[in-house]
A and B are shown apart, each in its own frame.
Chain A
């Protein structure tokens, strides 16, 4: 067979893939690289310095924004993971359930709708209800759009797991709840953790909804970054972005590794 027939190799495809990965990571590297730039002008390199990290860490407004983001993400993660866990349990253990398909769609709804539409819809509702606490507004909205991200890994884990364990456990223990707590939950824990971490990252990174709903004193980190971008680029902004990039990547990596391992075992 001539080389021209070898369907496993296409000339240029390998090169293109290399370029593709470079292109995928170049922007992230650029942000990180210039965060160590001594110069005030972001893209004019004039020497290595970590002073922008010092500046960022001493920036009160940034720390406030970080605290808001962590609070919102932390609570929204707990809520969305709980909601997702309950829903996933019901949906994967009752195939004869009425409206199962509909319920599943509803849980995943935030993935299907444009975020800006949901954000303005929530804004109108909250302003009509005179729902005033900025932090609670963010927590409620974030809990909703984080739910599918928590739901999918848990659901996948449950689907890959036989119901035999639970049934055996239910024969042994008195209540289904005990069976759930002692048997099912430990088995699906990797999925739950993966889901919770993904929900956390999604909440931490959100801009559109937070920007619509944020009020005085509840500026989240991405909203704060946006306000800095509008005022012009500085290496301090790169330093802040770098910290956010590193945090997101570490948590996402953990979550993905965890769910990959969970899938393999199941």
Chain B
């Protein structure tokens, strides 16, 4: 019985994940080298066309030309996800530090308050920013009062605000955990040794919280790469990111193989990040 359960207990999880993740992902890989149907869908015929499309387009006179438009989409995705991660780091460090230096009771309450918005539906959180940044919204009106032109919505800035807002709890939590582990004696030693607390921050706190920052970066960067709602609603659909590009290919553009190819590129990017992170963690383990 016990031996049996060791095996059977894991079967449901494996079946579920194989059926809804692993096998579908393999099919995505296959579809990414299939022919697209004229009106949508795909046909089972091998072609590298979808991947060629990422880099080259057939011009109006049948010539194959290098066309960086999708590279720009990939680049924009990396830049926005990277910027989101950086901004989250800069916000999370002081906030997590302040939280970590409160009384235990206060700590629990504050950490709970950081986590809570994460459980509110993503669509509602994005909608909130749609109202705030809109021309009639609070921030939109301040912008106009200050002489700002046009609308704040439908800009990369609006997307960035939405993304930082969506993912910030994922950065605060691990950074908080790392800071909490710091030995107060170390800090005080730092305070005694160095001239100012800013030097202490730079020389002592930052290096010691680095593992927390790294973990938070993964947690923020990976979902930010695949973000869909922010570009769709706050970016007005004009500023494509990889997530929206994939969505469009399976939607109105009806080019499944190309959508599958982009999805695979995104997957590979995520896997690279995860592998780099795992290797870093392993090196650290080996050292200690």
Contacts and interface: CB of A to CB of B under 8 A. Distances in A.
Interface stretch (B16-24, B57-65, B68-76, B208-216): B16-24
Given A120-B246, A124-B24, A24 B201 contact: no
B43 interface: no
Q: Please tell me the size bucket of the interface on A.
A: 35 or more
Contacts of A82: 12
Nearest to A255: B119
A17 B132 contact: no
Which secondary structure characterizes the binding site on chain B? helix
B129 interface: yes
Given A87-B12, A114-B243, A6 B197 contact: yes
A218 to B, nearest CB: 17
Contacts of A13: 94-95, 97-98
A9 B103 CA distance: 14
Contact of A7 (B25, B165, B190): B190
A5 B6 contact: no
Contacts of B223: 114-115
A147 interface: yes
Given A16-B95, A24-B117, A122-B20, A212 B250 contact: yes
Contacts of B16: 79, 83, 143-144, 147
Contacts of B158: none
A207 B230 CA distance: 12
B246 A229 contact: no
A90 B6 contact: yes
Contact of A28 (B20, B115, B128, B197): B128
A205 B9 contact: no
A106 interface: yes
A174 B200 CA distance: 61
A256 B115 contact: yes
B220 interface: no
Interface of A: 1, 4-10, 12-14, 16-17, 20-21, 23-28, 30-31, 34, 41-44, 79, 82-84, 86-87, 89-91, 94, 97, 103, 106-107, 109-110, 112-118, 120-125, 128, 140-141, 143-144, 147, 175-177, 198, 201, 204-205, 207-208, 212, 222, 225-226, 229, 233, 237-238, 241, 244-245, 248-249, 251-253, 256, 260
Given A1-B192, A175-B1, A249-B120, 6 more contacts: A103-B10, A103-B14, A114-B226, A114-B266, A121-B27, A204-B121
